[in-house]
Amino acid sequence: MKTQTKILLIRIAGVISILFTLFHAGFYWIFKWSQTLTVMNPIDRAILLTFNLICILLLLYSVILALGFTRQLIETTVGKSLLLFFTLFYVVRIFSEFAFFGHEMPLSLVIIVMCLIPAICFSLSAFLKSK
């Protein structure tokens, strides 16, 4: 695969990761967590909020690397391992859709496709040899 194609794939994944970052950043308001999470015990609520913040940070990190350090991701062993980590992040999210969300159509299909695109882009860039 041409290096330019890999760069394009990683940047596409980075742009989609921006969308996920913004979506996660809005969870508190979108899902009215100030009210809906009050039924949870304080520890579980804190864990959920903390995990969402960490998810936002991971997504932001993937965006920064995908858009700012694209060449290093495809040219170094560490970069390829990060691409595989980002692939795994999105693959786990796809499996989670089936395991935890009940895969309600059409919303689940949108989430699955939106996760599949960066998973494919990151993995192709990591696994295929550059020309």
- How does pLDDT run across 40-93, given as a tens digit for each residue? 999 999 999 999 999 999 999 999 999 999 999 999 999 999 999 999 999 999
End-to-end CA distance of the chain: 6
Which residue is associated with the tokens 């990151």? 122
pLDDT at residue 28, as a whole number? 96
Share of the chain above pLDDT 90, in %: 91
pLDDT at residue 11, as a whole number? 98
> Is the Cβ–Cβ distance between 58 and 82 less than 8 Å?
no
| Max CA pair span of the chain | 55
Encoded amino acid at 122, one letter: F
With a cut of 90, say whether residue 105 has pLDDT above it.
no
With a cut of 90, say whether residue 130 has pLDDT above it.
no
Residue 103's nearest CA partner among 67, 95, 44 is 95
* 11, 38, 41 from 64: Cα distances, Å: 10, 34, 35
pTM attached to this predicted model: 0.93
Encoded amino acid at 34, one letter: S
For the chain, what are the domain ranges? 3-127
Task: Give the up-direction half-sphere exposure of residue 38: CA atoms within 13 A in the CB hemisphere.
Answer: 4
If DSSP codes are grouped into helix, strand and coil, which group holds residue 45? helix
| CA–CA distance, 46 with 51 (Å, rounded to integer) | 8
pLDDT at residue 83, as a whole number? 98
